Amino acid sequence: MTSTPTIALARTVLPAARIDALFDALAAEGWPVIGPTVRDGVLVLAPLAGATDLPRGWGDEQDAGSYRLVRRDDDAYFGYAAPAGTWKRHLFPARSVLWRARVIRGAPVIEETVERPGRRALLGIRGCDLAAVRVQDRVLLHGAHPDPVYAALRADLLLVAVACGTPAATCFCPSMGTGPEVGDGADVALTELDAGTPDHRFLVEARTDAGRAVVLRLDQVPPTTSDDDAATDLLAGAVARMTRSVDADRIPAALKDAAEHPGWDDVAARCLSCGSCTMMCPTCFCTDVRDEPDVLAGVDERVRVWASCFELGHSYLHGGAVRPSPRARYRQWAMHKFSTWHDQFGTSGCVGCGRCITWCPAGIDITAELRAVTEEVPS
Ligand code: SF4
Ligand code: SF4
């Protein structure tokens, strides 16, 4: 009996002109696709009908407090950095109904409300965002009390990641060890090569059995050394273009000594406490819970919504808020992300996606603030 050389068949080269074959393979394996698409002037992550929904030829320009889509001078399908949309929305929704109660014949009846969407392929997830899924898995799935909403949405996923060759000015994934390459957790890893040339192609690599089943539905064209070299060059070029960084070895301990640094006053004078950074962050998971009763219909819903540590009420304990000032709230956010998250969950809470920099209306740059608040103050 001959055995199937599955490992040798787990990598192939897909011409970009045949990208429909990837969608066909995903469909044949029963994976509806969620991926990047252009909507309302930004890139969002939404259900895709096919390759024509991908943002072909679109890139982005991001900097502190600014984002805009731009036309690329090539036909890259994945020629952008961190999208405005976050995958978090598909795993940990901004609003979840935790339970619903109805009065039926005078007695309250509790209904199950956890959404179970079934199989979904997340196509186009970058290394940084894949790392964010690992962070949220640790918090929401592998803790002492797994979150049922997250667990239901996290089940039956196929993660089709794409190596990043087009970082934005706001990105700093190499500092955090999360990109631009595709790290752990992907089922399939894609690398888009030579967009805008006749050799425009994808290096396709299966990393799990589920991924292998999809890849084996494609034509099998073994990658050559020059394909692998081109992939290596793409990643090296991306790293070389990133200008922002965080000293991730030094910062966790340095922040612990910086609680009273005057730099917190400086950033607090600019911070609006709007919470945009936390809403856009792919790892933030704070929530609030409220009841939404409909007396006329005899229905009550207990609803969970995203919350932010920048809200005054978020730290409310009996008698008042523990963090009443913007200074205290900004410090809490930065210290948790970059220092105490390590104590709590064993990793950083930041994956270096840069969204908090791009989407801060005051243009506050966390990489600069971390340097400022850990600088020695002249005596
Ligand atoms: S803190 Fe900022 S850079 Fe880090 S993961 Fe969150 S949004 Fe991305
Ligand atoms: S750092 Fe920026 S985005 Fe975050 S709360 Fe302050 S002003 Fe808003």
Helix/strand/coil percent split, the chain, to 5: 35, 25, 40
For residues 35 and 166, membership in a common domain is answered with yes
Ligand nearest to the CA of 272: 2
pLDDT of residue 73: 96
163 lines ligand 2 (CB under 6 A): no
Select from 210, 241, 272 the last residue of a domain. 241
pLDDT of residue 379: 64
Counting residues of the chain whose pLDDT is more than 90, the rounded percentage is 88
| 316 CA to centre of ligand 2 in angstroms | 20
| 65 CA to centre of ligand 2 in angstroms | 10
Atom of ligand 2 lying closest to residue 366 CA: 1
**The pair of three-digit structure tokens given for residue 79, joined into one six-digit string:** 């020629």
For residues 91 and 28, membership in a common domain is answered with yes
For residues 29 and 153, membership in a common domain is answered with yes
| 236 CA to centre of ligand 1 in angstroms | 22
> Which residue puts its alpha carbon closest to atom 4 of ligand 2?
277
Cis omega (within 30 of 0) on the bond before 146? no
Taking 70 as the pLDDT cut, the residues of the chain under it are 1-9, 378-379
Whether residue 111 lies inside any domain: the answer is yes
| 364 CA to centre of ligand 2 in angstroms | 7
35 lines ligand 2 (CB under 6 A): no
For residues 158 and 289, membership in a common domain is answered with no
Q: Report the alpha-carbon distance of residue 359 to residue 276 in Å, rounded.
A: 6
pLDDT of residue 184: 96
Q: Report the alpha-carbon distance of residue 35 to residue 163 in Å, rounded.
A: 15
| 360 CA to centre of ligand 1 in angstroms | 11
Q: Which of 77, 70, 174 is nearest to 131 (CA)?
A: 174
For residues 71 and 24, membership in a common domain is answered with yes
Contact residues for 365 (Cβ-Cβ < 8 A; gap 6+): 64, 170, 244, 357
Ligand nearest to the CA of 350: 1
Using alpha carbons, list the distances in angstroms from residue 202 to 16, 83, 184, 264. 6, 20, 19, 46
At 267, the amino acid letter reads: V
Ligand nearest to the CA of 361: 2
Whether residue 379 lies inside any domain: the answer is no
> Which residue puts its alpha carbon closest to atom 1 of ligand 2?
271
126 lines ligand 1 (CB under 6 A): no
Q: Report the alpha-carbon distance of residue 228 to residue 321 in Å, rounded.
A: 55
Select from 177, 208, 241 the last residue of a domain. 241
Whether residue 5 lies inside any domain: the answer is no
Give the residues across from 48 on adjacent strands.
33
What is the Cβ-side half-sphere exposure of residue 323, based on CA atoms within 13 angstroms? 18
For residues 96 and 19, membership in a common domain is answered with yes
| 81 CA to centre of ligand 1 in angstroms | 13
Query: Which residues form the domain of 65?
Result: 11-241
For residues 57 and 201, membership in a common domain is answered with yes
274 lines ligand 2 (CB under 6 A): yes
> Which residue puts its alpha carbon closest to atom 6 of ligand 2?
271
Whether residue 2 lies inside any domain: the answer is no
- How many domains are there within the chain? 2
For residues 89 and 162, membership in a common domain is answered with yes
Ligand nearest to the CA of 364: 2
Select from 189, 212, 241 the last residue of a domain. 241
Whether residue 190 lies inside any domain: the answer is yes
pLDDT of residue 114: 85
For residues 43 and 104, membership in a common domain is answered with yes
Q: Which of 134, 332, 351, 364 to mutate to test the pocket of ligand 1 (most atoms within 8 A of CB)?
A: 351
Angle between helices 263-270 and 366-373 (to 10 degrees): 150
Q: Which of 19, 52, 10, 23 is nearest to 193 (CA)?
A: 19
Q: Which of 267, 272, 327, 336 to mutate to test the pocket of ligand 2 (most atoms within 8 A of CB)?
A: 272
Q: Which of 200, 196, 313, 326 is nearest to 273 (CA)?
A: 326
Q: What is the pLDDT of residues 100-136, one digit of tens each?
A: 999 888 888 999 888 788 999 999 999 999 999 999 9
98 lines ligand 2 (CB under 6 A): no
| Residue labelled with tokens 């192939």 | 12
Using alpha carbons, list the distances in angstroms from residue 81 to 55, 131, 155, 322. 12, 15, 26, 37
**The pair of three-digit structure tokens given for residue 205, joined into one six-digit string:** 């690599």
Q: Report the alpha-carbon distance of residue 72 to residue 243 in Å, rounded.
A: 21
For residues 236 and 299, membership in a common domain is answered with no
> Which residue puts its alpha carbon closest to atom 6 of ligand 1?
281
pLDDT of residue 3: 45
For residues 294 and 173, membership in a common domain is answered with no
pTM of the predicted structure, to 2 decimals: 0.93
Give the residues across from 123 on adjacent strands.
160
Whether residue 109 lies inside any domain: the answer is yes
Whether residue 329 lies inside any domain: the answer is yes
